[in-house]
Amino acid sequence: MQKVYWILCGTIFVCGSGLCIISDELFHRTDSGEMPPQFGLSVAVALFGIFGFLSGVAFKAIKFLHDKKIR
């Protein structure tokens, strides 16, 4: 199950980053100088993937410290 979690977090991050990169070409800009909503949404998706990675690493570190303390 852990492998699925890491793959899912990686997929979310890669999809969000990819959407950040192509959002300019994918959606037509109005050249108003404002950030398009699609770019903001893709940044949020990429951040969600990063937070998933960080929470997984924090969980593993806490579990390691807890197991070390019990022994």
**pLDDT tens per residue across span 17-34:** 888 888 777 766 666 777
Q: What share of the chain is helix, strand, coil (3-state, %, to 5)?
A: 85, 0, 15
User: Which pTM was predicted?
Assistant: 0.73
Q: What is the pLDDT of residue 50?
A: 92
Q: Whole-angstrom Cα distance, residue 1 to residue 15?
A: 21
Q: Is 34 left (phi over 0), alpha (psi -120 to 50) or beta?
A: beta
- Over 90: is that where the pLDDT of 39 sits? no
Locate the domains of the chain by residue range: 2-70
Q: CA 8, 11, 17 angle in degrees (round to 5)?
A: 140
The token pair that represents 49 in the structure block: 């993937």
